[in-house]
Amino acid sequence: MNKFPEYFTIWHIAGHYALRLMAYLVLAFLILPILVIIPLSFNAEPFFTFTPGMLSLDPDAYSLRWYNEIVTDQKWTLAIRNSFIIGIAAALLATVLGTIAAVGLSSPWMPFKRLITALLLSPMIVPLIIIAAGMFFFYTTFGLVGTFPGLIIAHAALGVPFVIITVTATLTGFDRSLFSAGLSLGASPVKVFWDVVIPLIRPGVISGGLFAFVTSFDEVVLVLFLAGPEQRTIPRQMFSGLREQINPTILAVATLLVALSIALLVTLEFLRRRSERLRGAE
C-alpha cells in the first residue's frame, strides 16, 4: 500500500520530506549542545574538547574526576546546598501564596480580577534585570541584600506566577457545587477547602511548585544583584567558574542538572496525566 494519497505529485512528496528534514534539524540544533556536554563531563583531561583518546573510546580517557571535584570543592558543595535551600524555600512560599491567590481569583465575587491577575503575573513579563535593580534598591532599605530571606522572597515572587497559572488551570475544571455540597454536609469552609478543594487541585499545586523550584534553581540575574558570597547558588558558581577556573567541573554540574530537569519533566508529565484521569472520571 502506498503511504501517500494517490493525488500526491512528486512535489507534494518532496515537500513532505523537506519538512521532515527541517524538523529534525531544528530538533538537533536545540538538543545537541545539551547532549554534547554529557560525554565531555567525563573527560579525564581538563579540556573542553574531545581528546583523541575519547574519540577512540579509550576507557582511560574517561574519568569521574570532575564529579569528584564537585563533592570535594567547598565552593561547589556550598553552591549546591544554597541552591536547594533557596529553591525549596522559595518554591514552598510561592506554592502557598500562589495557590491562595489562584483560589481567590477564581471566585466569581473577586473584584478587579483582571488587574490583580496582571499584577501578580507581571514578574513573568517584566525583564528580570529591571526587577533585580528595583529589588536591590528596595532591599537595601530593609537590609535584605546579601541574606537568605531576601533571596528566598525574591525567588518566590518569580515563582508565584507559575503556581497561579497551573492552579488556575486545574480550578477551571473544578465544580463549585462541590464546595457548596461540602458546606451543606456540615463542614466549615476551611475544612471543605482542605478536604475537597486541595485534593482535587493537588496536581496543579504540585506542578506549579515544581516550576517555581526550577525557576529559582536556574535563576542568575537576581542572584548576581542580591546575593553575597554566602548565598552563591549553582548558576552563579557556574557563571564565575566559566571565567575564573576553566575546567570541566561545570560540565559535570551541567550534566547533573540535565538529569534533574529530566526527572522533573517526567514528574510533571505524570501529574498531568493523573489530573486528566481524575477529571475524565468525573
Partner 1 sequence: MTRSEDAVFLKLDDVKKSYDQKSLVVKGFDIAVEQGEFITLLGPSGSGKTTVLMMLAGFESVTSGTISIRGKSINKTAPYKRNIGMVFQNYALFPHMTVAENLAYPLSVRGMSKADQKARIAEYLKLVELDDFGHRYPGQLSGGQMQRVALARAMIFEPTLILMDEPLGALDKKLREQMQYEITRLHEKLGFTVIYVTHDQAEALSMSDRIAVFNDGVVQQCAPPAELYERPVNAFVAEFIGENNFVEGHVERIEGGRAVVSVKGGGQIVAEAAQGLEASGRCIVSIRPEKLFIHPTSHDHDNEIEATFVARIYVGDFIRYYFRLSDGSEIVVKVLNDLSAPEFGEGDQGRLQWLISDSIAFPHDGEMPDTTG
Specify the stretch interacting with partner 1 by CB under 8 A; choose among 28-36, 44-52, 80-88, 273-281.
273-281
Interface with partner 1, residue 107, by CB under 8 A: no
Helix, strand, or coil here: 36? helix
> Is 281 an interacting residue with respect to partner 1 (CB under 8 A)?
yes
Binding to partner 1 (CB under 8 A) within 189-208 occurs at 189, 191, 195-196, 199-200
The binder of partner 1 chosen from 184, 228, 269, 273 (CB under 8 A): 184
Asked if 110 touches partner 1 (CB under 8 A), the answer is: no
Q: Which residues of 172-184 are buried (b: 16+ CB within 10 A; e: fewer)?
A: eebeeeebeebee
What would the DSSP string read from start to end of 58-120? -GGGB-SHHHHHHHH-HHHHHHHHHHHHHHHHHHHHHHHHHHHHHHHHTSTT-TTHHHHHHHH
- Least CB distance to partner 1 at residue 95 (A): 19
Strand partners, 43: 62
CB 84 to partner 1: min, Å:
31
Tell me whether residue 89 or residue 196 sits nearer to partner 1 (CB atom).
196
* Residue count of the chain: 282
Which residue in the set 87, 182, 203, 208 belongs to the binding site for partner 1 (CB under 8 A)? 182
Which residues on neighbouring strands pair with residue 62, listed in sequence order? Answer: 43
- Coil, strand or helix at 43: strand
Could you tell me the CA-to-CA distances from 45 to 52, 57, 201, 251 in Å, in that order?
11, 14, 50, 13
146 versus 173: smaller Cβ distance to partner 1 = 173
Nearer to partner 1 by Cβ, of 16 and 277: the residue is: 277
Residues at the contact surface with partner 1, assessed by CB under 8 A? 175, 177-178, 180-189, 191, 195-196, 199-200, 278, 280-282
